Chain A
Amino acid sequence: MDERLWTDRALADGEAIAAAGCRISRSGTGHQTLVSGDLTAAISMLAPDAPLLGFAEVSDTPEQAIRIARDHALLVTSNPVQEDPGWHSAGFALSDAGNRFACLDLAGHGAMDVLAHGLASAAPVGSPSAALYFVGLPVLVTGTRTGLKLWVDQAHLTYLTGFIARIGRNAGPAFDS
Chain B
Amino acid sequence: MTGWRHQTLGRNIDRSKPLRFSFDGQDVDGFAGDTLASALIASGQRILGRSFKYHRPRGLWGMGAEEPNAVLDVRHGSEHWPNTRATLARAQDGMTVTSVNAWPTARGDMFRLMDLAHRFLPAGFYYKTFMALPWRFYEPMIRRMAGLGRVDPSCAPRADVAQVSAECDVLVIGAGPAGIAAAKAAAETGKRVWLVEESSQLGGTLRWRGGEIGGTPWQEFAAATREIVLAAGGRILTETTLWGAFDHGSFAAWERGVPERHWRIRSTRTILASGGIERPVWFANNDLPGVMSAEAAFHHLILYGAAPGRRVLLAMASDRGVPVARALTDAGVEVTLVDARKTPVDCGVPRVTGRIEAAHGRRGVDSATVNGKRIACDTILCAGGTTPTLHIWCQAGGKLDWDASRDMLVPRPGTAPMTVVGAAAGVLDLETAVEDGWAAGSEIEATNRPAPKSPPDHVFRPDPSLPGRQWIDLQNDVTLKDVTLAAREGFSSVEHLKRYTTLGMATDQGRTSNFAGLTAMAAVTDRTIPATGTTTYRPPFQPVPLRAIAGPARGALYHAPKRLTLEDMHRAAGARFREYGGWLRPATYGAGDETTVARIEAQTARQSVGVFDASPLGKLDVIGPGAADLLDFTGYVRMSTLKPGRARYGFMLSETGIVYDDGVVLRLAEDHFLVSTSSSHVEGVRYRLEDARQDRIGRGRVFIHDITQGFTTLTVTGPKAREMCRKAGIELPDLPHMGVGQTSFEGSPMRVARISFTGDLSYELSVPANLAHALHDRLDTALPEVGGCWIGLEAVLILRAEKGFILIGKDTDGATMPHDLGWGGPRTRREDEYIGKRSLFTPEAQGDKRRQLVGLRVRDGDAVIATGSHLIEDQGARRSLGFVTSSCFSPTLKRPIALALLENGRDRIGGSVQVFNDGEVRSAEVTMACAFDPKGEYLDG
Contacts and interface: CB of A to CB of B under 8 A. Distances in A.
B682 to A, nearest CB: 10
Contacts of A171: 160-162, 259-261, 552
A53 to B, nearest CB: 19
Contacts of B624: 37, 87, 93
B577 interface: yes
Contacts of B552: 163, 166-167, 170-171
Nearest to A152: B709
B591 to A, nearest CB: 13
A89 B669 CA distance: 14
Contacts of B627: 87
B556 A172 contact: no
Contacts of A113: 164
A116 B165 contact: yes
A97 B668 CA distance: 16
Given A95-B623, A100-B707, A155-B564, A6 B163 contact: no
Task: Give the interface centre of B250, B565, B576, B577 by most chain A CB atoms within 10 Å.
Answer: B565
B560 A98 contact: no
Contacts of A98: 707, 709-711, 768-770
A95 B264 contact: no
A158 B557 CA distance: 10
Interface stretch (A43-51, A54-62, A119-127): A119-127
A155 B623 contact: no
Contact of A95 (B165, B563, B707): B707
Interface in A79-132: 85-87, 91-100, 113, 116-123
Contacts of B166: 116, 122, 174-175
B417 interface: no
B578 A3 contact: yes
Interface string A158-173: 1100110011011110
A100 B709 contact: yes
A156 B704 CA distance: 21
A1 B555 contact: yes
Contacts of B705: 34, 36, 93, 95, 97
Contacts of B161: 171
Interface string B150-161: 000000001111
Given A122-B165, A157-B563, A96 B710 contact: yes
Contact of B162 (A1, A36, A167): A167
Contact of A86 (B165, B584, B623): B623
A175 B561 CA distance: 29
Contacts of A95: 621, 623, 705, 707
Contacts of A100: 706-710, 769
B109 interface: no
A142 interface: no
A3 B577 contact: yes
A78 B829 CA distance: 50
Interface string B736-776: 00000000000000000000000000000000111000000
B558 interface: yes
A136 B672 contact: no
A8 B768 CA distance: 24
Kindly name the residue among B166, B625, B627 whose own CB sees the greatest number of chain A CB atoms within 10 A. B166
A96 B707 contact: yes
Given A86-B669, A87-B671, A170-B259, A121 B710 contact: no
A145 interface: no
A122 B167 contact: yes
Contact of A116 (B164, B579, B625, B703): B164
B568 A9 contact: yes
Contacts of B702: 93
Contacts of A162: 556-557
B162 A6 contact: no
Contacts of A121: 165, 167, 250, 264, 266
Contacts of A163: 552, 557
Interface size class of B (residues with CB under 8 A): 35 or more
Interface centre among A8, A156, A174 (most CB of B within 10 A): A174
B485 to A, nearest CB: 46
A113 to B, nearest CB: 8
Contacts of B556: 1, 3, 6, 8, 159, 162
A63 to B, nearest CB: 18
A18 interface: no
B165 A119 contact: yes
Interface in B568-627: 568, 576-579, 583-584, 587, 621, 623-625, 627
A16 interface: no
A122 B158 CA distance: 26
A21 B190 CA distance: 26
- State the main secondary structure of chain A at its contact with B: mixed
A159 B556 CA distance: 8
A3 B584 contact: yes
Given A6-B556, A116-B166, A122-B166, A36 B562 contact: no
A168 to B, nearest CB: 11
B557 A91 contact: no
Q: Which of B235, B264, B623, B706 has the most CB of A within 10 A?
A: B623
A85 B310 CA distance: 88
Most buried by B among A98, A99, A100, A170: A98
A40 interface: no
A72 B706 CA distance: 12
Contacts of A172: 162, 258-259
B700 interface: yes
A10 B16 CA distance: 49
Contacts of B578: 3-4
Nearest to A159: B560
A17 to B, nearest CB: 14
Nearest to A171: B162
A86 B672 contact: yes
Given A93-B624, A116-B166, A6 B584 contact: yes
B701 to A, nearest CB: 10
Contacts of B164: 113, 116-117, 174-175
A35 B258 CA distance: 47
B90 interface: no
Contacts of A1: 555-556, 558
Contact of A36 (B160, B568, B703, B768): B703
A49 to B, nearest CB: 23
A100 B705 CA distance: 11
A154 interface: yes
B688 interface: no
Contacts of B579: 3
Interface string B466-508: 0000000000000000000000000000000000000000000
B699 interface: yes
A129 B623 CA distance: 22
Nearest to B767: A98
Nearest to A29: B770
Given A93-B705, A174-B164, A4 B561 contact: no
Nearest to A91: B700
Interface of B: 158-167, 235, 250, 258-261, 264, 266, 552, 555-558, 560-565, 567-568, 576-579, 583-584, 587, 621, 623-625, 627, 668-669, 671-672, 699-700, 702-711, 768-770
23 contacts: A1-B556, A3-B556, A4-B576, A9-B567, A32-B710, A36-B705, A37-B700, A37-B703, A87-B623, A96-B768, A98-B770, A99-B770, A100-B710, A116-B165, A117-B164, A119-B165, A121-B266, A155-B563, A156-B563, A167-B552, A171-B259, A171-B552, A174-B162
Interface of A: 1, 3-4, 6, 8-10, 32, 34, 36-37, 71-72, 85-87, 91-100, 113, 116-123, 135-137, 153-159, 162-163, 166-167, 169-172, 174-175
CB-based closest 8 A-B pairs: A98-B710, A171-B162, A170-B160, A155-B562, A100-B710, A122-B167, A36-B703, A93-B623
Given A100-B708, A170-B160, A170-B259, 6 more contacts: A3-B556, A3-B584, A9-B567, A86-B671, A87-B672, A155-B583
